Amino acid sequence: MSAVPEWFAGKARWSGFEIAFWCALAGAYFLPNIDIALLSQIFIWGLFAMSLDLLLGYRGIASLGHAAFFGAGAYCAGFLGKYGWGEPVSGLLISMLPAAALGWLTGKLVQRVSGVALLMVTLGLNLILFDFVQRSTALTGGDDGLQGIAVDPLLGLFRFDIFGRTAYWYSLGALFALFVFLRAFVHSPFGLALTGSRENARRMIMLGSPVEGDISIVFAVSAAAAAAAGALLTQTTQFVSPATLSFQRSADVLVMLIIGGAGRLYGGLIGALIFLVMKDWLAALSPVYWYFWIGLLLVLVVSFFRKGVLPSLETGMRGLIARLGKARGGGPPA
Amino acid sequence: MSDTVLATRGLHMAFGGLMVFDHLDFSLKQGERHAIIGPNGAGKTTFVSLITGLLRPVSGDVLLDGRVITRDPPQARVKAGIVRTFQINSLFKALNPLESVVLALCERDGRARPALRAVARESALIGEARGLLEQFGLGADALTPTQTLAYGRQRLLEIALAMALKPRVLLLDEPAAGLSTRQGHEVFEQLLRLSAGVTILFIEHDMGLVFRYADQVSVFAGGAIIVQDTPDNVRVNPRVREVYLGA
Ligand SMILES: Nc1ncnc2c1ncn2[C@@H]1O[C@H](COP(=O)(O)OP(=O)(O)O)[C@@H](O)[C@H]1O
Ligand SMILES: [Mg+2]
């Protein structure tokens, strides 16, 4: 068992697939006829889905109201831009703070509930916030959205242009930075503890683990990452409306994560990619009915892949590699 | 009585209308190997859960070193050295034994939160986890997902997780449940070899194991401890034979 000492290091190491994946995202910019606006959307939704994955995939807590945190970040970035704080990077970071606090409180609130009750509490909080923002017309502009958001050039150099070039690199950069952070987070002992609580909270208590307090921490971190996605949307479009907080958004992000596969961070990104590319195609074919196809995809994925596209691909690949190894007369299957 | 580690005083427990104990006084001495026997439903598991704080009594107290801990949260009791295993395996199915034990060690040493430091950098704890798994004969299974381990291996992991915490008082709820007699003896031999200085309370149905490994036996029946004595005396006690041994 020479692999034992290397186990954790091996899990935390960047694989060739990962490096290739990020290079591909950066390289896509240079492809002819590429829709960089769509890709920017994928980055933002991917980050949002990744934030939900921390909660659902790693801690096993479902949230049906995750748009509350996305919207909190989006509006915070909007207010900053409107009232004179136009610097985008610091604006993005600041926008994560109120959502983190909101997430921490949500964690406190849901510590003792699970299952359907948990879905209802998170959904309820989402609806409350949505209603509040929609009604506070003086503050938020209501359904018309927040107007007059100014965003300074990125790093003082790159204006947010109408072609979305700066938006592309800014979203990709923010996504990557937060991904690196979340990746370190899930590979830390705390990440292991979250997985332990997902698997068996009672045993974690009997290991002396503060299971309930951890829920607040993971909610806060997840909410902050969701808020970063929201802030990115506001900053790259210079606009924010109550739609950022809608229940539809909460449902969509959950669908993306389930399609892509929960519990490996990349699942959210892959799910966002599949969802938004499909939406783009289908909406061009029949603008009204595209949710039919998304619904069908969801049903198929959940029925046949169970864990989502990415984990199934992984399993398939591993089986293939094992078979190839055997065919070559290699050692026993790994 | 200065060498009493753990005690209960007038413990009263009920689930709704169902009374489990009326008034339970119990004490466990430092270094003792104390067995609890009794028919199914006598409240043995409930008793362990009351001591560990997973359940709260209706009235009465649990004491550690003479200090009342009845209202302490379970985690505080674990930190104070009260550690249990479960009658039905209570493991981390998707994790492997190495990850499970490293997790237990991180929790024990307070190194689990909040952190961005990689688990891989906890090389001392990883080494300790490997050593512990080797001692329990789980070295070869260290990287096998727990859910695919054979039942007997899972039973060992159940105990290894508890031992990882370096308990002062170890509460074992039917550690040999579901094992063959030979496997049961192996588990106990392994355990006793590794637990010098640990006070052990174990629930056990197999009388062979009880009489071989316990130095005190308590017999739970009908909401009370009907007999508490040495294994030899319990074996010949007429009341025990009547309510429990059925002979
Ligand atoms: N969580 C619970 N809720 C309601 N009744 C319970 C619960 N746990 C145990 N009981 C009941 O309490 C009694 C004692 O159970 P238990 O402690 O598991 O017994 P033992 O371990 O001695 O077999 C049984 O009648 C059981 O049905
Ligand atoms: Mg029992």
Q: Whose CA is nearest to atom 26 of ligand 1?
A: B41
| Ligand 1 within 6 A of CB of B46 | yes
Q: Is the pLDDT of residue B245 over 80?
A: no
Return the amino acid letter for A276.
L
Closest CB from A4, A203, A210 relative to B91: A203
Tell me the count of A-B CB pairs closer than 8 A: 128
The pLDDT of A193-212, averaged and rounded, is: 95
Return the amino acid letter for B176.
A
**Residue A248: CA atoms inside 13 Å, Cβ hemisphere, count?**
5
Note the helical H segments in chain A: 7-12, 16-27, 36-53, 67-82, 88-110, 116-135, 137-140, 165-186, 189-199, 201-205, 211-237, 247-260, 266-285, 290-300, 309-327
Judged by DSSP in three states, B23 sits in strand
DSSP code per residue over A46-67: HHHHHHHHIIIIIT----S-TH
B87 interaction partners in chain A (CB closer than 8 Å): none
Beta pairing partners, B29:
B4
Neighbours of A173 (CB within 10 A): 14
| Ligand 1 within 6 A of CB of B199 | no
In sequence order, which residues have a C-beta less than 8 Å from that of residue B107 and are 6 or more positions away?
A193, A204, A207, A208, A209, B165
Q: Is the pLDDT of residue A282 over 90?
A: no
Contact present, A267 and A257 (Cβ < 8 Å): yes
Residue contact B92–A195, C-beta within 8 A:
yes
pLDDT at A313: 79
Q: Please tell me the distance from the alpha carbon of residue A211 to that of residue A203, in angstroms, as a whole number.
A: 10
When mean pLDDT is compared across A107-116, A232-241, B155-164, the lowest value belongs to A107-116
A1 — pLDDT class (breaks 50, 70, 90): very low
pLDDT at B247: 47
Q: Please tell me the distance from the alpha carbon of residue A239 to that of residue B100, in angstroms, as a whole number.
A: 47
| Ligand 1 within 6 A of CB of B15 | yes
In sequence order, which residues have a C-beta less than 8 Å from that of residue A7 and are 6 or more positions away?
B96, B98, B99, B126, B142, B143
What is the token pair recorded at B50? 């009351």
The pLDDT of A212-217, averaged and rounded, is: 93
Candidates 3.40.50.300, 3.30.470.10, 3.40.50.720, 3.40.50.620; CATH matching B1-81+167-247: 3.40.50.300
Q: Please tell me the distance from the alpha carbon of residue A101 to that of residue A220, in angstroms, as a whole number.
A: 6
- Where in the sequence of chain B do the CATH 3.40.50.300 domains occur? 1-81+167-247
Q: Which of the residues B92, B123, B146 would you substitute to probe the A interface, choosing the one with the greatest number of A C-beta atoms within 10 Å?
A: B92
Report the separation in Å between the CA atom of B46 and the middle of ligand 2, taken as the mean of its atom positions: 7
- Candidate from B24, B45, B52, B54 with most ligand 1 atoms within 8 A of CB, to mutate: B45
Residue contact B75–A210, C-beta within 8 A:
yes
Q: Which residue has the higher pLDDT, A95 or B113?
A: A95
What is the token pair recorded at A270? 């892959």
User: What's the pTM value of the predicted model, to 2 decimals?
Assistant: 0.90
B126 interaction partners in chain A (CB closer than 8 Å): 5, 7-8
Q: Which residues are found with C-beta within 5 Å of the ion, ligand 2?
A: B 45, 87
pLDDT at A90: 92
Residue in the structure block whose two tokens are 């370190």: A184
Taking only the tens place, the pLDDT of each residue in A123-168 is: 999 999 998 888 887 778 777 788 888 787 878 777 877 778 889 9
According to DSSP, residue A149 is labeled -
| Ligand 1 within 6 A of CB of B219 | no
Q: Is the pLDDT of residue B1 over 60?
A: no
In sequence order, which residues have a C-beta less than 8 Å from that of residue A54 and are 6 or more positions away?
A182, A185, A186, A218, A221, A222, A225
Taking only the tens place, the pLDDT of each residue in A56-92 is: 999 999 899 999 999 999 999 999 988 888 889 999 9
Q: Whose CA is nearest to atom 24 of ligand 1?
A: B41
CB-count exposure of residue B4 (10 Å: 0-12, 13-18, 19+): middle
The pLDDT of A300-324, averaged and rounded, is: 78
pLDDT at B159: 93
Which atom of ligand 1 lies at the shortest distance from residue B16's CA? 4
Report the separation in Å between the CA atom of B107 and the middle of ligand 2, taken as the mean of its atom positions: 27
Q: Which residue has the higher pLDDT, A114 or B139?
A: B139
Q: Please tell me the distance from the alpha carbon of residue A100 to that of residue B173, in angstroms, as a whole number.
A: 41
Taking only the tens place, the pLDDT of each residue in B96-152 is: 999 999 999 999 999 988 778 889 888 999 999 999 999 998 999 999 999 999 999
Taking only the tens place, the pLDDT of each residue in B193-220 is: 888 889 999 999 888 899 999 999 999 9
Which atom of ligand 1 lies at the shortest distance from residue B220's CA? 22
Beta pairing partners, B218:
B36, B228
How close does chain B come to A37, measured CA to CA in Å?
33
Contact present, B97 and B160 (Cβ < 8 Å): yes
**What is the average pLDDT score of chain A?**
88
Element (H, E) at B151: helix B151-164
Closest CA to A226 of A90, A71, A79: A71
